[in-house]
Copies of this chain bind each other. A is one copy, B any other.
Amino acid sequence: MAEVLVRELSTQVGKQATVRGWLHKRRDLGGVCFVVVRDRSGLVQAVVRSEQEVGKLDGLQNGTVLRVTGRVVDEPRAVGGVELHEPSLEIITPVTEVMPVEIDKPIDHRSENFDTLFEYRALSLRNVDEQRVFKVRAALLRYIREFLTEHEFVEIQTPKLVAGAAEGGAEVFKLDYFGQEATLAQSPQLYKQMMVGVFERVFEIAPAFRAEPSVTTRHMSEVMMLDVEMGFITGHEDVLEMIQDMTKAVLTRVYKERAQDLEKLGAPQLVLAETYPRYTMAQIHELYQKATGKDMSGEVDLTPDEERWICDYAREHDGCEAVFATGLPKSKMKFYHMAAEDGKTALSADLLFRGVEIATCPQREHRYDKLLEQMKAAGIDPEAPGFRYFLQAMMFGLPPHGGCGFGIDRLVEKVCGLGNVKEATLFPRDTKRLTP
């Protein structure tokens, strides 16, 4: 008899069928044993009355891998609407130890003990609700790739072992590379810009490494980044529009196609306007001060509380929980960003979603002389190996271009309505955690 997936059982009512999976849990109720089997498609209950069959589970614990053959019976009260009756069991991989984590309870992430969660990550993910986060994550990445490929962006892979720190700063991991000093790429920033000269539109989805000592709900030392870069823009507006269109398409799709996962995860409803509202930093400081009495106008950047506040505000006021924060001060911009004509701000915007920054979206400085000037002003040696090739591409002609760097982990966290970026990551890395 061919094996079927649990989700296919409902088409087999009245027939004998075999499923295989894990012993998810069992309950013994005087003479009858309810055996719940989990496979990748769901859960099904087998009702075991035969002493011989129940005896096969003697000494075995949850996690045991087994095959169950039985008659498929309609049972509206059961998960999936069916049960297996008069089953025979076959043990594939016996488990004799008791699992150190419970996997058959709904998850309450806010009260979760993260150390336990991650210490037993490969087991705690056997909770079918916990898994949904990573099904949503895989779907999101797929939709992003499909959207960008349809719009003629070429997916590239650039090296993670690099000669210099592209973003500057001290927060890089260093290692010995056959006698040279190498650093782990903090971002593919310079490479993707170089590739605009080849493919015009490129993107990369890859890990990035930050030796940040920050211990927050928003930081990890290894993150998954979506980097997008688009050439031949007519201005910064084109960058924001592309990012708005992409996120709108992808978020709308994930809420449609993974609706059940998001519902079970308790994710909030998606609230997006046709056009994302835009607020300058100054406006946000002002609105925030009016509402809270706190004056943040001296801050160069938005505070985390302001980020949360403006997203809440925009959801109420503009019917949109994605917000572009514009008018970032020129003093804060990276050397490869383009300054606005006002001489005070950068042609850049932060995309905020559900209370956190998920992407920075600038236009780049594509004019060689101007870039060289900004580089020198930032104290960067144009001849350093990390920058020489970037300047080479620029010297031989790049069109106006811009793009974004997207934190995928944060996006998944926010989409699923989780409280910590680590929950959206299979095996998160922070200052303390290098395992599992």
Contacts and interface: CB of A to CB of B under 8 A. Distances in A.
A408 to B, nearest CB: 8
B209 A161 contact: yes
* Oligomer: number of copies: 2
A121 to B, nearest CB: 8
Interface string A211-246: 101000000011010000000100000000000000
Contacts of A79: none
A145 interface: yes
A114 interface: no
B426 A123 contact: no
A365 B329 CA distance: 58
Contacts of A207: 157, 159-160, 206-207
Interface stretch (A250-258, A272-280, A390-398): A390-398
Contact of A393 (B123, B162, B432): B123
Interface in A7-37: 20, 22-23
Contact of A221 (B121, B138, B161, B176): B161
Interface stretch (A177-185, A283-291, A317-325): A177-185
The 3 closest A-B pairs by CB, nearest first: A389-B436, A63-B397, A63-B396
B155 A397 contact: no
A198 interface: yes
Contacts of A156: 134, 138, 426
A435 interface: yes
A175 interface: yes
A163 interface: yes
A397 B154 contact: no
B163 A126 contact: no
A106 interface: no
A93 B366 CA distance: 8
A197 interface: yes
A299 to B, nearest CB: 28
A64 B142 CA distance: 36
A44 B138 CA distance: 40
Contact of A395 (B97, B175, B180, B199): B97
8 contacts: A3-B232, A65-B397, A65-B399, A159-B222, A175-B184, A178-B213, A178-B431, A191-B426
A237 to B, nearest CB: 16
B138 A426 contact: no
A123 B388 CA distance: 13
Nearest to A182: B434
Residue from A173, A396, A431 with most neighbouring chain B CB atoms (10 Å): A396
A125 interface: yes
B138 A155 contact: yes
Interface in A162-180: 162-163, 173-178, 180
Contacts of A62: 396
Nearest to A400: B92
Interface in A87-133: 92-95, 97, 99, 120-123, 125-126, 131
A195 interface: yes
A260 interface: no
B392 A39 contact: no
B142 A399 contact: no
Residue from A64, A93, A141, A177 with most neighbouring chain B CB atoms (10 Å): A93
A135 interface: yes
A178 B432 CA distance: 8
